[in-house]
Structure 1
Amino acid sequence: MSLTLADARIVTPEGVHEGWLTIEDGRITHVGHGSAPGNGLSVGGRHVVPGFVDIHNHGGAGGSFPTGEQDRARDAVALHRRHGTTTTMASLVTDSLDGLTRAAASLAELCDDGLLAGIHFEGPYIARSRCGAHDPTLLREPSTQEFAGLVKAGRGHVRMITVAAELPGGLDMIRMAVAEGVIAAIGHSDADYDETIVAIEAGASVATHLYNAMPPLGHRAPGPVAALLDDERVTVELINDGVHVHPAMMRLAYEVAGPGRTALVTDAMAAAGLGDGDYGLGTMRVRVDGGVARLVEGGSIAGSTLTMDVAFRRAVRELGMSLPDAVQVASLTPARVLGLADTIGSIAVGKAADLVVLSDELEVAGVMKDGAWITEPR
């Protein structure tokens, strides 16, 4: 069955053009300029962008990936899909080894079904001094033997591990992860500039929510931020909710890393899509007030209630990104991190028909996953 979307403003990393595209069997088969040949479904001159790709997400709609509960995980994915995220990696938080193993095994089944794009262990091998919303009583020194067991539980779906490289065994963990085909990310770390450089040389290639849960950028002690921004091999995650990072620092990071090394992420937790109230994040209790999630005890920021469409709009309106650049940081660059840029992340012939229709105000007006409407254009 073939479907043509007509009267569209198609956004690619190269630019924006008025045109049309055709979808067959879940894939894009043609991308054209001007008027569509024959009959097509008009999107009324609205923007069509690739589906967003979120590589750091803990849940939403009341569901929390760290619990491993499949029904609630499906609720979370459905919520984020309605907001334009067609590819989601499930991020876990620090827990007991048994808890992490059970959650990974359960979520691996959803990866088998194509609901999730992989599993990210954000902990337990992180620094106590920078643990943020992670349970400090469950933190552990990096163990390649333990991690091998977690990788086994994930049955090939473990895609990322966040490590504090300065911990004993941290560099060995990074090297092992890379050897296993798992992305090694630096985060929740007290590493200094030189230690971070060594970690990058060992294979670390992602900065977990840059600026957050790491020493600040300084002119005499540049810390990990400078090392991560300065290296062309590193992609930096940025939480663009106006809470985690000041817009000026967002712009600074983007100006250095550019669209090719910047990945917008939500770091969303169970409260995304819901209202204020009390929620859980792993073993920790979280209170959301005014849309901001913080630990009940201690007050540390505990993930976010962000969705990718909001992050995308803020990138254009608050940070001044062009639409093509905003598409790259919300879709193509994170797809590249996951090794999926050949199939998702941009509008091109042969790629999956994961698409978002946006109004002139950049509000989501329709979402398509693999050629099927999740929400039809309205």
Structure 2
Amino acid sequence: MSASEAVEKLLCGKVLTPQGLVENGVIAISGNTISYVGDRQHLPQAYIEWATVVDQPEGLLIPGFVDVHVHGGAGHDFMDSTRETLDAITQFHSSQGTTTMLATTMTAPKDDIDNVLREVDAYRSNNMPYAQLAGVHLEGPFISPQWPGAQNPQHIVLPNISWLDEWEKQYPGLIRQVTLAPEREGALEVISWLRDNGITAALGHTDATYEQVLAAVDAGLKQAVHAFNAMTPLHHRKPGVAGAVMEDSRIAAEIIADGIHVHPAVISILARLKTSANLLLITDAMSAAGLGDGEYTLGDQPVNVSAGIATLKNNKGALAGSTLTMIRGFQFLISKVGLSLQEASRAASLNPAISLGLEQQIGTLESGKQADILLLDDNLDLSSVWVQGRNIL
């Protein structure tokens, strides 16, 4: 089979590449892989004869979004993982531009976490029809009882290498990120273990001091979850966790760009400090994402959603995840924070891919990478989504 026969689709429009925007661009897709990205005038004529052409001259083609922190959506929660649940969550978020994601757990009893790992592992062993689950993000249970946020404090435990070692041996490579409080007893040893096993150690729900965070970074800590939320704040004499996250270039920062969790001016400050691969857009979405106001659960915590804002039912001041989607967060970074198209795309796609160690497969539109592609209109609204070359929207 010739190269031209192998090309099945040609997507034409403005193409966002790592080198910049190609105005008269084209992406050639062969199976689940990008085989060509560039200017249309350099595309071999034979490709056009064999391929299905999607021609949107005013459309914008960008890489699919990668969400490393998401709890659910469309009325479903990853803590209740079944095949039906995982299909529903990944189908909803793929319709919002997410092409790769981590199934994120809550602080819960070990048996409940065991079940999530078992179900996600089984799901990944078959063809995943929608957004691809790259693995699991354990948000807890190794967090601080002083900063539980929407996590159930009854299930908080000290960092435990034996649990992690058991899970890694049973499900090699499944756990991709663990959120913990670095000041807790045994945390530094766990962080070193995570580093040695290729798992992202992230701080969150933490009462740490600035100095304790730096010690954790020296041990292998790499990331901060939902920056500024559920952590000691910045003070000019006590920098706290927030100050360490802002100051230390070794820490990548997740941000919920919904205008509720963090003011856009503060996101703008963070973005100026977190250059290169250090700013990650996340949703922290819970089951209400994609649905209306009402009563829901986040893990085993009752949640009320009003005007799209999720709060604990028994503590109305505590935010309980979000109803954000990646496309809305991406738009917010551009329209409200002032990031460029390239900067927002990096935060939503490449940087989280780097966090997962998958930047050679996903995160940018380049030849040889997975054909995870979004088509946006001139308002930056989604028109089409391709996951591994399959058009799912």
**Which of 49, 70, 89 lines up with 2:62 in the alignment?**
49
Give CA-to-partner distance per residue, 1:281-323, whole Å, 9 cap, x none: 1111111111111111112101001100000101111111111
Give CA-to-partner distance per residue, 1:103-146, whole Å, 9 cap, x none: 11111122333531110110110001111001011110111112
Indicate if the aligned counterparts of 2:8 and 2:31 stay in contact, CA closer than 8 A.
no
Alpha-carbon distance in 1 for matches of 2:391, 2:280: 25
**SS in structure 1 at match of 2:66:** strand
1:82 partnered with 2:82: no
Alpha-carbon distance in 2 for matches of 1:135, 1:194: 27
Could you tell me how far 1:69 is from its partner in structure 2?
Answer: 2.4
Alpha-carbon distance in 1 for matches of 2:262, 2:237: 21
Deviates more, 1:14-23 or 1:87-96: 14-23
**Which of 106, 121, 141 lines up with 2:119 in the alignment?**
106
What amino acid sits opposite 2:223 in the alignment? V
Indicate if the aligned counterparts of 1:164 and 1:191 stay in contact, CA closer than 8 A.
yes
Alpha-carbon distance in 1 for matches of 2:158, 2:277: 33
Q: How many residues align?
A: 375
Q: Which runs of 5+ in 2 are unaligned?
A: 1-5
- Equivalence for 1:3: 8
Give CA-to-partner distance per residue, 1:5-25, whole Å, 9 cap, x none: 354110123311121111102
Give CA-to-partner distance per residue, 1:44-86, whole Å, 9 cap, x none: 3200000000000101011111222231121011000011100
- Equivalence for 2:326: 308
Indicate if the aligned counterparts of 2:253 and 2:279 stay in contact, CA closer than 8 A.
yes
**Which of 53, 61, 78 lines up with 2:74 in the alignment?**
61
Alignment of 1:241-256 (within 5 A): 241-256=258-273
Indicate if the aligned counterparts of 1:259 and 1:329 stay in contact, CA closer than 8 A.
no
1:117 partnered with 2:134: yes
Q: Which runs of 5+ in 1 are unaligned?
A: none
Indicate if the aligned counterparts of 1:105 and 1:153 stay in contact, CA closer than 8 A.
no
1:12 partnered with 2:29: no
**Which of 155, 163, 169 lines up with 1:146 in the alignment?**
163
- Equivalence for 1:239: 256
**SS in structure 2 at match of 1:118:** strand
Alpha-carbon distance in 2 for matches of 1:210, 1:153: 32
- Equivalence for 1:225: 242
Indicate if the aligned counterparts of 1:3 and 1:41 stay in contact, CA closer than 8 A.
no
- Equivalence for 2:204: 187
Alpha-carbon distance in 2 for matches of 1:135, 1:154: 25
Alignment of 1:347-358 (within 5 A): 347-358=365-376
**Which of 319, 338, 343 lines up with 1:325 in the alignment?**
343
- Equivalence for 2:3: none
Could you tell me how far 1:34 is from its partner in structure 2?
Answer: 4.0
Indicate if the aligned counterparts of 1:158 and 1:182 stay in contact, CA closer than 8 A.
yes
1:364 partnered with 2:382: yes
Alignment of 1:228-307 (within 5 A): 228-299=245-316, 300-307=318-325
Indicate if the aligned counterparts of 1:89 and 1:118 stay in contact, CA closer than 8 A.
yes
The normalised TM-score by structure 1 is 0.96
Could you tell me how far 1:154 is from its partner in structure 2?
Answer: 3.5
**Which of 11, 33, 38 lines up with 2:39 in the alignment?**
33
- The share of aligned pairs that are identical, in percent, is 37
